Each structure stands twice: as structure tokens, then as C-alpha cells.
A = this chain, B = another copy of it.
Amino acid sequence: MRPDPHLERLIDLAIAEDLGSGDLTTEALFPANEQGRAAFVAREPLVASGCEAAMAVFRRLDPTCRFSRVCAEGTRAKPGRRLLTVHGPLRALLSGERAALNFVRRLSGIATLASRYAEHLEGTGCRLLDTRKTTPGWRVLEKAAVRAGGGCNHRMGLFDGVMIKDNHIDAAGSIARAVAKARSRIPPTVRIEVECANLKQVRSALAAGADIIMLDNMDPTRMRRAVEIVAGRALTEASGRLDLQTIGQAAHTGVDFVSVGALTHSARSVDVAMDMLPA
């Protein structure tokens, strides 16, 4: 598929900011028509994500670029493993190298972190969710990286899910009225989630017909109690600064989902390099 208009615009920004009025070094030192070949290589263990974006960078610079041995999203790679081979005009390869790597390194970093969290949930039936704490402009890419790492996506934005919080409840007068008001205005295909800080709110949300109940910053004991109260009549999501130490415990409370903002807002890039290959 051709990159969607959103990704095309992001890639245009990436190229504009890095190449600007031109790549001084490459244009000075390489002729326009020389062909080359290069590979993206993992320099540390990682879960791969972002090869499509990297290819889109190279294609944007020169549509004659060709690719082979492209890692599927979610591939686990050991150091030395090739993630992608690109063949095309040497200038396009060198000028696009950094932008393309920056995509793969960041997205694989997210996928790798997500996979570590996901491992802690194995066997619990509880699923790992991301949040909207993503890098502006990168939402779709970063959420794909989370899936690549074994997580699931929470709503993509403000348009495909309703999340009722304190200030919404205050404005409507009660959880029941907030849920009813929202229900009457949204497409029938979209569910309503209510953020609950305590068990009383859990009960109110359930009575109001909430589809999903978020247990916000609750300790495991309270989570477990909330799950009992809900008793399958709504989905439950545990949220609030869960880390690799605490996520397993949360998952064992019986919640359907745990959500972790750090997946996208605090993943470090993994080390991937571009090696030139003999043409």
C-alpha cells in the first residue's frame, strides 16, 4: 500500500527538516547516477517495527529504490540480523539513511519495550494496552509498534472511544447522566469507558451502563474487589503508572486490560545501523 496521506506528510516533514536545501556532503562527493546497496542491521536484541516507514523514506527520495529481506512487524532480531535491504541510487541511500534509521530505531524501541511488558502478562488472559501518550504526529506508527511487540491498542484518538473523567462527571451532574448523554450522541459502534477512582464510582459506572470501567491508580486488592463487583458486566482496565515490576500483579487481579503510557512516551531507541553492502 502507498503510505496513507498522514504518513506521507510526516515523511515529507522528516525529509524537509533533514535535507532542507540539499545534502551538501553527498551531493559533493557522489555522482547522481551511482547505485548502491545497504542493509539495516540490529546492533542489539530487539523486536522490529517501522520498516515500512523506512522504505517510504527511501521511496520518497527516489521511487526506483527497491527492497528485499524486509522484516515483518514484530520479528525478534538478534544483534547482526538484517532488518531490511535497500538497493537504489547511492545518493538516496545516504541522504535518507538517518531519517529512515530514526524511524526504525524509535519504533523498534517501542516494540521491544512492549514485548517486555507483554511477557509479564502471558498466561493471565489480561491484555496490554497503550494510551494516547504518543509522540504527536506518530500516533498510528507508535500504536502499530505496540502491536508488533505483542500489545493491543486502546482507542486511537478522541474519535473512536468515549472516556468519561472527573470533569465530565462534574459537568453532567453524575456518572449516570454523563453516560446517558454521551450514549445519545455517539455512533452505536463506539463504547463508553468511565474512569473510576474508587469502588463507589465503579458501582455507579456499572449501574449507568458503562461498557468499560477504568480502575485508576487502584492497588491490587481494590482492583480485585472491583473485578468482583463488575462480574463480567463490563470490561475492566487497570491504569496508572504500572511498570515492569507491578504489571504482573495487576494482571493477576482478573482485569481484562492493563494500560501503560510508558510504552510510547518513555521507550528508548534501540540500536540499528545501516551498513553499506558490496553492490
Contact = CB atoms under 8 A, between A and B. Distances in A.
Nearest to A265: B269
A155 interface: yes
Nearest to A25: B162
Interface stretch (A55-63, A198-206, A218-226): A55-63
A276 interface: yes
Contact of A9 (B13, B60, B160): B13
A190 B235 CA distance: 12
A276 B171 CA distance: 12
A269 B133 contact: yes
A250 interface: no
Given A19-B4, A167-B94, A103 B25 contact: no
Interface string A143-163: 100010000111111111111
Contacts of A152: 184-185, 187-188
Max chain B CB contacts within 10 Å: which of A21, A103, A190? A21
Contact of A257 (B153, B157, B188): B188
A266 interface: yes
A78 interface: no
Nearest to A256: B188
A49 interface: no
A85 interface: no
A257 B12 CA distance: 31
B129 A188 contact: yes
Given A1-B91, A12-B5, A269-B265, A137 B17 contact: yes
25 contacts: A1-B32, A5-B16, A6-B16, A9-B13, A10-B136, A11-B136, A17-B140, A20-B20, A20-B158, A20-B160, A21-B139, A21-B157, A24-B161, A24-B162, A25-B162, A28-B181, A28-B186, A29-B172, A103-B136, A147-B185, A155-B187, A155-B190, A156-B187, A188-B235, A190-B191
